[in-house]
Structure 1
Amino acid sequence: MRVLLTGSAGQVGRALLPLLRERADVISPLRDQFDLSRPDELAGKLESIKPDLIVNPAAYTAVDRAEDERELAFRINAEAPRAIAQWAAPRGVPLIHFSTDYVFDGSGDRPWREDSTPGPLSVYGQSKLAGDLAIAEAGALHVIARTSWVYAASGANFLKTIVRLAGEREQLRIVADQIGAPTTASTISQAIVAMLPLGGDGLRKTFEQRGGVVNLVCAGETSWHGFATAIVVGLQSRGVKLAVKEIVPIRSDEFPVKAKRPSNSRLDLTLLRERFGIAPPDWQQALDRELDIFQATI
Structure 2
Amino acid sequence: MNILVFGKDGQLGKAFQCVFTDQKLGELHRIHYVGRAQCDLSNADAITNLLQETKPNLIINAAAYTAVDQAEQEIDLAYAVNAIAPAIMAQYAVKEGATLLHYSTDYVFDGTKTTPYHESDARNPLGIYGKSKAAGEAGIEDAFKQDPHTKAQFAILRTSWVYGDGGNFIRTILRLAKERESLKVIANQYGVPTSAPWLASISLAMVLDENHQLRSFPSGLYHAIPQGETTWHALASFAVQAAIDAGAVLKLRPDQIAAIPASEYPLPAPRPMNSRMARSALDALMNQIYKGADVTKWQQWQQSWQEPVADYVQDLVLHKRS
Aligned partners of 2:117, 2:203: CA distance in 1, in Å?
20
Moved more, 16-25 or 97-106: 16-25
Give the deviation of 1:276 after TM superposition: 2.3
TM-score of the pair, normalised by structure 2: 0.88
Aligned partners of 2:65, 2:183: CA distance in 1, in Å?
28
SS across alignment from 2:34 = coil
Corresponding position: 1:142 with 2:164: no
Give the one of 133, 147, 159 matched to 2:138: 133
Moved over 6 A (4+): 199-202
Give the deviation of 1:157 after TM superposition: 0.3
Q: Answer whether contact 1:39 1:76 (CA < 8 A) is retained.
A: no
Corresponding position: 1:174 with 2:185: yes
Question: Which amino acid in structure 2 is aligned with residue 143 of structure 1?
Answer: A
Q: 1:25 to 1:145 in 2, by over 3 A?
A: same
Q: 1:110 to 1:42 in 2, by over 3 A?
A: same
Which residues of structure 1 form unaligned runs of 5+?
none
Give the deviation of 1:201 after TM superposition: 12
Moved more, 115-124 or 189-198: 189-198
Q: Answer whether contact 1:176 1:251 (CA < 8 A) is retained.
A: yes
Q: Answer whether contact 2:183 2:258 (CA < 8 A) is retained.
A: yes
Aligned partners of 2:121, 2:170: CA distance in 1, in Å?
29
Aligned to 1:270: 280
Aligned partners of 2:112, 2:37: CA distance in 1, in Å?
39
Corresponding position: 1:86 with 2:96: no
Question: Which amino acid in structure 1 is aligned with residue 218 of structure 2?
Answer: R
Give the deviation of 1:30 after TM superposition: 2.9
Give the one of 106, 109, 112 matched to 1:101: 106
Give the deviation of 1:202 after TM superposition: 6.2
Q: Answer whether contact 1:217 1:280 (CA < 8 A) is retained.
A: no
Q: Answer whether contact 1:179 1:223 (CA < 8 A) is retained.
A: yes
Q: 1:136 to 1:200 in 2, by over 3 A?
A: farther
Aligned to 2:174: 163
Give the deviation of 1:70 after TM superposition: 0.7
Aligned partners of 2:94, 2:206: CA distance in 1, in Å?
20
Aligned partners of 1:141, 1:178: CA distance in 2, in Å?
34
SS across alignment from 2:134 = helix
Moved more, 32-41 or 254-263: 32-41
Corresponding position: 1:151 with 2:125: no
Q: Identity rate of aligned residues, in percent?
A: 38
Q: Answer whether contact 2:243 2:314 (CA < 8 A) is retained.
A: no
Give the deviation of 1:211 after TM superposition: 1.9
Question: Which amino acid in structure 1 is aligned with residue 315 of structure 2?
Answer: I
CA deviation map 1:187-214 (0-9, x unaligned): 10110111122699962x51xx422110
SS across alignment from 1:80 = helix
Give the one of 67, 70, 80 matched to 2:72: 67
Question: Which amino acid in structure 1 is aligned with residue 85 of structure 2?
Answer: A
RMSD between superposed Cα atoms in Å: 1.7
Please show how residues 1-298 of structure 1 align to structure 2 within 5 Å: 1-21=1-21, 22-23=24-25, 24-139=29-144, 141-152=153-164, 154-197=165-208, 203=214, 206=216, 209-245=217-253, 246-277=256-287, 279-298=301-320
Q: Answer whether contact 2:104 2:157 (CA < 8 A) is retained.
A: yes
SS across alignment from 1:188 = helix
Aligned to 2:293: none
Aligned partners of 2:35, 2:156: CA distance in 1, in Å?
22
CA deviation map 1:188-247 (0-9, x unaligned): 0110111122699962x51xx422110001110010000000001111111211111410
SS across alignment from 1:173 = strand
Question: Which amino acid in structure 2 is aligned with residue 273 of structure 1?
Answer: D
Q: Answer whether contact 2:19 2:197 (CA < 8 A) is retained.
A: no
Q: Answer whether contact 1:122 1:259 (CA < 8 A) is retained.
A: yes
Give the deviation of 1:19 after TM superposition: 1.9
Question: Which amino acid in structure 2 is aligned with residue 229 of structure 1?
Answer: S
Moved more, 243-252 or 21-30: 21-30
Which residues of structure 2 form unaligned runs of 5+?
145-151, 288-297
Question: Which amino acid in structure 1 is aligned with residue 200 of structure 2?
Answer: S
